[in-house]
Amino acid sequence: MLTLPTTALTIIETLKNSAFTVYAVGGSVRDTIMGIPTRGWDFATSATPEQTLSLFPDSFYDNRFGTVGVKIYTEPRTPQSEPADIYEITTYRSEKEYRDFRHPDKVTWGRTIEEDLSRRDFTINAIASDGREIVDPYGGQKHLQEKLIQAVGDPQARFREDALRMMRAVRIATQLGFLISAATRDAIAGNADLLKNISAERIRDELMKLMAFEHAADGILLMRNTGILKVILPELDAAFAVGQKSPQRHHIYDVGTHSVMALKYCPSGDPVVRLATLLHDIGKVETAKTDPQGIVTFYNHEVNGARAAVKIAGRLKLTKKHTEKLVTLVRWHQFSVDERQTDSAIRRIIRRIGTENLEDMLALRTGDRLGGGAKETSWRLELFRNRLEEVQKQPFSVSDLKVNGHDVMKILEVAPGPVVGKVLGELFAEVENGKLSNERDALIRKIEEMRKIKSA
């Protein structure tokens, strides 16, 4: 027996009362057996989408997937309530039908839950429960205990039907900390090229899900070892062949390994920031040169890297916002973290990176440092973080000064003209290099001093 939430039991009861059969299936059943919290329950039923729609007032038809979504609300519900979750109800899939479901109108539905489960990807995702019995024809529960991802049926055939399943195998293995069984893994290694036929959007969604996991770095290595990386991120795959060992240099890893290590130690949970950390040195592949002394250089690699990031973001169809963040982080990751820099140098760094990206850039640099590319010690990065904060509290431009042209004209008794701008400029320079604080009293006093000098 499996304890389902009451919201799931209500869905099951409603369909059963109309003489349909229905089971909870997929990720949520898997998670619940493992004892981990879950949401977004999936159901498979003998009811057609139209029949399901008519039974649930809060449901809608997502034609793209032939799935009916049911909005789940928490009680008490008011007219302003937003759904707390969406459950998805799909009609049993037929053995004759190809799961990708491009033509839902022409579909022939399956008759039984067993037929439906045979169309699912992995044994641990092919467990069904209606709250009373568990249907598990492929040993999914056993594989959950063994922490094993194994294709339902012949892995070769299943990956040829839908190549995205190969990425799903790696993603779910990374998510759960599982191994992929030998035959399934070999089938991935033998068919990874088929991912070329899969749409950018589906690949992006799986990749971004994977990036968010704590052990994403292991997932990237697994993709490399199975040949998936070569298809979806060939730029990164090539980086494993670029060494960085030089006399008197700190680098011990090749560029690819360093990239993965940087991701491993990146403290951000944002998949875009983590992707940027993974790709920050991607420009080193094109720029690597060995000078006569045997020193390896990557001159301007961040410029090439930004260009590669634009290309990768375009290929993966990232949103404009995500693309901008990714490219900015890669483009400017080489800034020098030296707390002795002048305020205006620090201000220039802030302007380039953008205040909204500063914390993310520091996360990238922390990953970079801990991942073996150490450019600075941790105390240096902390001091730099303090400088960033300090400098941001100070004015960025003359218009941020706590006095303006009217104050200058009044105190100096001058008419509008170039003198006013010159005085404000002098004040700004002193505030910027820390000789004067940006407080109204202090600035007024300073202007008054100027008047004395002028009249003396």
Q: How far is the CB of 272 from ligand ATP (least distance, A)?
A: 19
- Residue among 27, 131, 190, 267 that touches ligand ATP (CB under 6 A): 27
Task: Tell me the per-residue interface mask from 126 to 165 with ligand ATP, x by CB under 6 A, - otherwise.
Answer: x-----------------------------------x-xx
Q: What is the 3-state secondary structure of 195-253?
A: HHHCCHHHHHHHHHHHHHCCCHHHHHHHHHHHCHHHHHCHHHHHHCCCCCCCCCCCCCC
Nearer to ligand ATP, 99 or 111 (CB): 99
CA distance 411 to 400: 19
**Contacts to ligand ATP from residues 37-56, by CB under 6 A:** 40, 42
Nearest position to Mg ion, beta carbon = 27
Among the listed residues 50, 74, 96, 99, the single contact to ligand ATP using CB under 6 A: 99
C-beta atoms surrounding 70 within 10 Å:
24
CA 154 to chain centroid, in Å, comes to: 32
Closest C-alpha among 337, 255, 244 to residue 297: 244
User: Please, are residues 338 and 365 in contact by the beta-carbon 8 Å criterion?
Assistant: no
Strand partners, 22: 45
Whether 145 contacts 172, CB under 8 Å = no
- Specify burial of residue 78 (Cβ count, 10 A radius: 0-12, 13-18, 19+): exposed
From candidates 66, 87, 110, 120, binder to ligand ATP by CB under 6 A: 120
Query: Does residue number 281 form part of the binding site for ligand ATP (CB under 6 A)?
Result: no
Which of residues 27 and 131 has its CB atom nearest to ligand ATP in the complex? Answer: 27
164 vs 326 by CB, closer to ligand ATP: 164
DSSP letters along 52-108, please? HHHH-TTEEEETTTTEEEEEE-PSSP-TTPPPSEEEEEEE-B-TTS-TT-S-GGGPP
Nearer to Mg ion, 31 or 281 (CB): 31
Q: Does 218 bind ligand ATP (CB under 6 A)?
A: no
Q: From CA 320, how far away is CA 446, in angstroms rounded?
A: 47
Tell me which amino acid residue 49 is: P
Amino acid at 147: K
d(CA 40, CA 60): 15
DSSP 299: T
Using CA atoms, how far apart are residues 67 and 44, in angstroms rounded to an integer? Answer: 10
Pick the piece of the chain touching ligand ATP (CB under 6 A) from 117-125, 245-253, 263-271, 380-388: 117-125
Task: Give the interface with Mg ion as residue ranges (CB under 5 A).
Answer: 27, 40
Instruction: Name which of 174 and 357 has its Cβ closer to ligand ATP.
Output: 174
Q: State which residue has the least CB distance to ligand ATP.
A: 27
- DSSP code, position 121: S
Q: Least distance in Å: CB of 202 to ligand ATP?
A: 9
- Under the binding rule (CB under 6 A), the answer on residue 113 touching ligand ATP is no
Q: Which residue's CB is nearer to ligand ATP, number 44 or number 288?
A: 44
Residue 116 in contact with ligand ATP, rule: CB under 6 A: no
CB of 65 to Mg ion, least distance (A): 12
Q: Of Mg ion, ligand ATP, none, which one does residue 218 interact with (CB within 5 to 8 Å by kind)?
A: none
Task: Give the interface segment with ligand ATP, choosing from 104-112, 119-127, 180-188, 262-270 (CB under 6 A).
Answer: 119-127
Residue 125 interface partner, choices Mg ion, ligand ATP, none, CB cut-off 5-8 Å depending on type: ligand ATP
**Residue closer to Mg ion, measured from CB, 126 or 239:** 126
Sites of contact with ligand ATP (CB under 6 A) = 26-27, 40, 42, 99, 120-121, 125-126, 162, 164-165
